[in-house]
Amino acid sequence: MSPAHTDKKKEVRRYYRALYRAWGAQHWWPAETLFEVIVGAYLTQNTAWNNVELALANLRAANVLSIEGIRRAPLGKLERLIRPSGYFRQKAKRLKTFVSFLDKTYDGSLDPLFARPTSQLREELLNLNGVGPETADSILLYAGNHPVFVVDAYTRRILDRHRILPTKADYEEIRALFEQALAPVAHTQPAKVAARLASAIRGAAHTPSAMSTAARTPLAQVYNEMHGLIVGIGKNFCRKSQPKCDGCPLQPFLPQR
């Protein structure tokens, strides 16, 4: 392993510790059931989470936010309910495809699905229409408690601006970097920060939910927290245009320009 790669891992670990000290637990993923996590992973493609929450509220109000609900809902109705999330026709078909896959392969149950080895299940998910690496890994980590790191656009932007990896780096290269960097942290998780913080911003923190407070392995929990913390940086500071570096917990780590 090259010295440069080792330095990158150390830097990622520093970022995690700095962000966790600043903001604490982020309570990702906000959901009440495993299936709600899966639906949210599909709906969040190419849209903001606020739009996903509107679509989830529609599904919940119509009593179709379940495997059975998606199975029996006519496609047109499902499209109308998830319209706030954008690309609603594509996403409705993809949700139907997932439930059909679950019915055919796992008798409509999530338990045997998530009991599969991580690499095999990841390959199965990636073979489904509309499931890319980010969606597959979100399902694996947040619903299945599989220790995989989720790479999103915020992650790429932060790594590029901090000169760790370019924006167009391969997804698997980024995922491997974070997983290798954060694995040792699972054994040395810092103590929880005080509930009352000096800043009103707590990253991307959500109100605790059944899924965000569910028992996880230490490694999955660290990957979970780091992804949520990165989302907080991306939303509040490391914006696509007009980044706001002042006050960002990662500002001390910016390279000299």
The CATH architecture one would assign to domain 3-28+149-253 is Orthogonal Bundle (1.10)
The boundaries of every CATH 1.10.340.30 domain in the chain are: 34-143
User: Average pLDDT, stretch 138-147?
Assistant: 98
pLDDT higher at 1 or 72: 72
For the segment 6-65, what is each residue's pLDDT rounded down to a tens digit? 699 999 999 999 999 999 999 999 999 999 999 999 999 999 999 999 999 999 999 999
Tokens, residue 76:
């047109």
pLDDT value at residue 257: 56
Please state which of the four CATH numbers 3.40.930.10, 1.10.340.30, 3.30.200.20, 3.40.50.460 is assigned to the domain occupying 34-143.
1.10.340.30
Look over the chain and give the mean of its residue pLDDT values, rounded to a whole number.
Answer: 93
Using pLDDT thresholds of 50, 70 and 90, give the confidence band for residue 200.
Answer: low
pLDDT value at residue 217: 95
CA distance 254 to 257: 9
CA distance 74 to 24: 42
DSSP 251: G
The boundaries of every CATH 1.10.1670 domain in the chain are: 3-28+149-253
HSE-up of 21 (CA within 13 Å, CB side)? Answer: 9
Kindly tell me if the per-residue pLDDT of 81 is higher than 50: yes
pLDDT value at residue 62: 98
Kindly tell me if the per-residue pLDDT of 199 is higher than 90: no
pLDDT value at residue 193: 42
pLDDT higher at 1 or 107: 107
pLDDT value at residue 256: 75
Helices (H) and strands (E) in the chain, counts: 12, 0
Spatial neighbors of 27 by CB under 8 A, at least 6 apart, are 205, 206, 207, 208, 209, 212, 213, 228
pLDDT value at residue 195: 39
CB neighbourhood size of 241 (10 A): 4
pLDDT value at residue 157: 97
